[in-house]
Each structure stands twice: as structure tokens, then as C-alpha cells.
Amino acid sequence: MIDRTKIFPLMLIILQVAAAIPCAAAHDWRKMIYWLAAAVLNIAVTF
């Protein structure tokens, strides 16, 4: 079971990864790397 305090950060991580998908589809590599880096940073801080 997931801790209740980690639900919001997990939702943010999912949204950040989801934001990287259209950037990759549009070949906007800088924005894709930005969103993936933001997700990795949130993963490192949360877990």
C-alpha cells in the first residue's frame, strides 16, 4: 500500500512524464529532457 503523503508527489511525477511524451512526439528534445529531469528530481526527493 502507498503512503498517503506520497500520493500527490506521485501524481506530479506521472504528469511530468506524461508532459514529456508530446514533446518527444514533436521532436522538442529540450522540453522532453526538462520534463524527464523534473520527474527524476521528484523521484529522488520523494522516494
Give the CA count within 13 Å in the CB-facing half-sphere of 15: 6
CA 14 to CA 11: how far, in whole Å? Answer: 5
pLDDT digits (tens, 9 = 90+) for 6-43: 999 999 999 999 999 999 999 999 999 999 999 999 99
CA distances (Å), origin 24, targets 6, 7, 17, 19, 21: 27, 26, 11, 9, 5
What is the distance between the terminal CA atoms of the chain, rounded to a whole angstrom?
A: 14
The pTM of the full predicted model, rounded to 2 decimals, is 0.90
Other beta carbons within 10 angstroms of residue 35's beta carbon come to 20
Chain Cα centroid distance, residue 31: 12
